[in-house]
Amino acid sequence: MPTVSEIMDTMDYGPSVEDSSAVRDWLKQHERFGHFIDGSFTPAGRGFVTSDPATGETLAQISQGTAEDVAAAVKAARKAQPKWAKLTGYERASYLYAIARVIQKRERFLSVLESLDNGKPIRESRDADIPLVVRHFYHHAGWAELMADEFPDHSAIGVAGQIVPWNFPLLMLAWKIAPAIAAGNTVVLKPAEYTPLTALAFAEICQEVGLPRGVVNIVTGDGETGAALVEADVDKIAFTGSTEVGRAIRAATAGTGKRLTLELGGKSPFIVMEDADLDAAVEGVVDSIWFNQGQVCCAGSRILVAEAVAERFETLLTRRMETLRMGPPLDKSTDVGAIVHPVQKDRIVTLCKQAVAAGADLVGGAPGEACYVAPGYLREVSPANPAWSEEIFGPIATLTTFRTADEAISLANNTRYGLAAQIFSESATVATDLAAQVKSGVVWINGANMFDAAAPFGGMRESGFGREGGRVGMLDYLSGPKPDSVKEKAPKTPKAMTDGAASGKGIDRTEKLYIGGAQKRPDGGASYRAASGDLVPLGNRKDIRNAVEAAKKASKWAAMGGHGRAQVMYFIAENLSLRRDELGAKHGKEAVDAAIRRLFHYAAWADKFDGMNVQTKPGYLVNVIPQPFGIMGVICPNDAPLLSLVSLVAPAIAMGNTVVAVPAQDDPVAAFDIAQVFDTSDLPGGVVNIISGPKDDLAAVLAAHDDVAALWYCGAKGAEAVEKASTGNLKPVWSFENLDWTKQSAHGQRFLDHAVQWKTVWLPYGALPAGTGSVAY
Ligand code: NAD
Ligand code: MN
């Protein structure tokens, strides 16, 4: 114990360590943990230890879940599900509410347990993680209560398999379990192997509140256990973790019909404009990349700062960095705790070395004892440096300067990822302009890492798909009303014919592909005799590539706004009605009439599929905005050649996407007839492109194309292949069965839901309260 006068000499902070005796008693009582299956704990099996990364001390023995354990848990969840879903919303809500209440009472216990197992400072687990967990269960207790009113005709999906990482162990559990069970699903959750303890404490809370057996099951283990869960008889997989594992899960679930939500990595930009409040921006860095030792998927790990203020910003940044206190996680005055595991520490140190070898300067960032790494940042990181694109997942940012806002945006979007972005500017004009242009699922203006249960969170591009939080997040755990499916006519194998072989008939006007608003001969010059008897162009890989290029050039379509797009779509409908008799004679009057109505229907929606403003905490304006994906691939069924094309293309373009469509393989002529109508209706060239040919071959090319951001596949077969082929850029693939297309309007919203991705934009009103930093807790 130092004397008072010694303290006066050094002015150091004294230790202020949170008491861990209650947690240690609990650990001693258990020592070896089994799984939580069907309401009780199984005997502990063979497994591994989890430890405190700050000291290396072993905390407990954990069982390695086998495929049999997973199967038992899924069986329990399956059995419990119908009864759980049949409870009234109010009844389910009261369980969620009880869980929230008990967690709230145990906040301190859970915070200490989380900090011990993960290494994060108690200040963070106490002030961010656990309060957000509580908020999540309360919020979703509300959704359970309101299910019948707010999601009429929706039902639970069934059993959800959920796999979470180690960076926010209990918070990620809450993000997954709360919406799932609120909606009437039951779950099997696998916590991360480095941090299973709070999930096991949560299992005890489920027992304590008398949650019906089997509603929540927890199986511990490593990636193998996770892989077994992916393979198991579940209806949905929700995963948060690395992009690499996300891809493996996409491939493993392809063609199974399992719903999928992937929340993956990021390399998010942190933009500091010339007019930013630089002190606030520096605090933003503290909250963004030095929060939780930078082990945050949405960390603003690429600092982009305006050249004019870069020097001043860096001075403030390094000064602030030096005041951060690295120390024991349980010390209440620790800012920087331990990295979760030696493996992760090594990864961080190795990546920093590689970055330096590639020409970067590392400021700070020295590795310490045990699992410690000091906060730091890398300067002089060119886009060719691995640190520019690789997720370091530690307290090390990169710092790059820019001159203009355009340059800032092009640097910001120069990444495969699209999880989050932070923008610092005192100008609302500048900040909102950048927020609109940056490609990410979440945007924080003048703040960082703001989370709330009401605000959807999730990524674009290779950061994954699906959202967690709020109304949009609930939809990922529900099935909406589904129209009856109609068996698809199996397409015939098309036989290629060269021009000559087409018996001198030549290729007339209607027998060309439609690319960039013009008729184009197919690349190979080949045609095929469609089952309809018509000679039609045989599109190939190169034609698809050309069509994607044309669709890319038409990106202004999104900028026209809903009203502008509606005008064009009304005009298409009008021109189609002018040709009603002629096209009706060729393709059926009913189909033409239904197509006209379909165009009107989605034109109506174009300016009415609204975003929402959600209530998080007082003082934040949080908007959730539907955004087009960009280029969509649309694979039509082999039926209803005119109507299916219109029915699928219309919702996609109404939302601002551009489309490469593969029409009904056996009868694509109707699609080319519709293309003529597009041409006379002010639809900008390239918004819709039509490539006829062998359905599944062309679908596979679209699935594998990195510039195609989303894919719809309609039909009985082939979903597995396109889902597998789509792992490259992790595009969301929606595969669905063929419908009676005359009835589609009744299900119009379902198509719009799949034509957008949501962007959540946080804008604090005025300045954030002094001293709170920007992490919203
Ligand atoms: P990971 O993706 O390997 O692990 C995340 C979870 O998935 C864990 O529960 C793990 O057991 C499980 N898992 C691993 N392999 C699996 C498989 N084949 N099938 C099913 N489940 C599987 O991530 P990690 O090894 O813990 O960390 C590696 C990197 O991932 C980090 O350095 C970081 O870049 C990234 N990461 C991202 C997040 C995020 O929030 N997006 C979280 C943690 C890690
Ligand atoms: Mn641990």
232 and 299 belong to one structural domain = no
My answer on whether 223 and 283 are in the same domain is no
* Residue 571 reports pLDDT greater than 80: yes
The parent domain of residue 171 ranges over 21-264+475-479
253-263 pLDDT, tens digit per residue, is 999 999 999 99
Question: Which of these, 204, 176, 647, 770, lies nearest to 458 by C-alpha position?
Answer: 176
Within-domain flag for 518: no
Residue 460 within a domain: no
Asked if residue 275 and residue 258 are part of one domain, the reply reads no
Q: What is the pLDDT of residue 777?
A: 44
Q: Are residues 250 and 311 in the same domain?
A: no
137 alpha carbon to ligand 1 midpoint, in Å?
24
Distance CA(332)–CA(330), nearest Å, equals: 6
**Same domain (yes/no): 90, 154:** yes
Q: Are 276 and 298 found together in one domain?
A: yes
Q: Give residue-wise pLDDT tens across range 374-395.
A: 999 999 999 899 999 999 999 9
Report the CATH number at residue 49: 3.40.605.10
- pLDDT at position 208 is 98
* Ligand in closest contact with the CA of 115: 2
Q: Judge contact between 468 and 456, C-beta under 8 A.
A: yes
Could you give the angle at which helices 107-118 and 89-105 cross, rounded to 10 degrees?
Answer: 70
CA of 413 to the centre of ligand 2 (A): 35
Atom 42 of ligand 1, residue of closest alpha carbon: 241
Q: What is the DSSP string of 677-700?
A: HHHTTTPPTTSEEE--S-HHHHHH
Rounded-to-10 torsion of CA 447, 448, 450, 456: 110
Tell me how far apart the alpha carbons of residues 221 and 265 are, in angstroms, rounded to a whole number.
21
Name the DSSP letter for residue 17: B
Considering the entire predicted model, what is its pTM? 0.96
Q: Which one of the ligands is nearest to 301 CA?
A: 1
For ligand 1, atom 26, name the residue with the nearest CA: 165
pLDDT of 238 above 80: yes
Q: Which of 245, 262, 415, 462 to mutate to test the pocket of ligand 1 (most atoms within 8 A of CB)?
A: 245
Number of Cβ atoms within 10 Å of the Cβ of 62: 25
742 close to ligand 1 (CB < 6 Angstrom): no
Q: How many Å lie between the centroid of ligand 1 and the Cα of residue 172?
A: 12
State phi, psi for 720 to the nearest 5 degrees: -60, -45
Positive or negative CA dihedral for 384, 388, 394, 399?
A: positive
**Cβ of residue 241 lying under 6 Å from some atom of ligand 1:** yes
Residue 510 has pLDDT above 90, yes or no: no
Q: Which atom of ligand 1 has the smallest separation from the CA of 245?
A: 2
Q: Is the CB of 166 under 6 A from ligand 1?
A: yes
**Do 161 and 32 fall into the same domain?**
yes
Residues 368 and 221 in one domain: no
Position with higher pLDDT, 556 vs 771: 556
| 188 and 159 Cβ atoms separated by less than 8 Å | yes
708 in the same domain as 612: yes
Band (pLDDT 50/70/90 cuts) for residue 559 is: very high
394 lines ligand 1 (CB under 6 A): no
pLDDT value at position 153? Answer: 92
What sign does the CA torsion over 392, 393, 394, 400 have?
positive
Query: Any idea which ligand is nearest the CA of 176?
Result: 1
The number of folded domains in the chain is: 3
265 lines ligand 1 (CB under 6 A): yes
Q: Does residue 770 belong to any structural domain of this protein?
A: no
Does 702 lie in the same domain as 596? yes
d(CA 645, CA 663) in angstroms, rounded, equals 6
- In this predicted structure, what is the pLDDT of residue 769? 55
- Say if residue 507's pLDDT is above 50: no
User: Is residue 629 packed enough to be buried (19+ CB in 10 Å), middle (13-18) or exposed (0-12)?
Assistant: buried
As beta bridge partners, residue 442 has 420, 760
Nearest-angstrom CA–CA distance, 213 and 206 = 9
- In this structure, how many other beta carbons lie within 10 angstroms of the beta carbon of residue 149? 8
Q: 505 is written with which tokens?
A: 């008939």
The residue among 772 and 88 whose pLDDT is bigger is 88
* % of the chain with per-residue pLDDT over 90: 89
Q: Per the domain annotation, does 609 fall within a domain?
A: yes
- The reply to whether 600 falls in a domain is yes
CA distance 549 to 543: 10
- What pLDDT is recorded for position 773? 47
393 ligand 1 Cβ < 6 A? yes
CA 397 / ligand 2 centre spacing (Å): 25
Domain check: are 293 and 436 in the same one?
yes
pLDDT in tens, 387-420: 999 999 999 999 999 999 999 999 999 999 999 9
Query: Contact, 103 vs 147, CB < 8 A?
Result: no
* Active centre residues (catalytic): 263, 297
Domain at 292, CATH number: 3.40.309.10
274 CB within 6 A, ligand 1: no
Query: CA torsion sign, 209 to 215 to 220 to 223?
Result: negative
- Asked if the structure places residue 350 within a domain, the reply is yes
What pLDDT is stored for residue 768 in this prediction? 64
Q: How far is the CA of 221 from the centre of ligand 1 (A)?
A: 12
Instruction: For residue 606, count other CB atoms closer than 10 A to its CB.
Output: 25
Using only the alpha carbons of the chain, give its radius of gyration: 28
Do 278 and 258 belong to one domain?
no
Calculate the average pLDDT of the chain.
94
For 631, list phi and psi in degrees, rounded to 5: -90, 125
In this structure, is residue 537 part of a structural domain?
Answer: no
Q: What is the DSSP string of 348-392?
A: HHHHHHHHHHTT-EEEE--B-STT-B--EEEES--TTSHHHHS--
Model pLDDT for residues 607-618, shown as the tens digit of each residue: 999 999 999 988
Q: Is residue 705 part of a domain?
A: yes
**CA 455, CA 136: separation in Å to the nearest integer?**
11
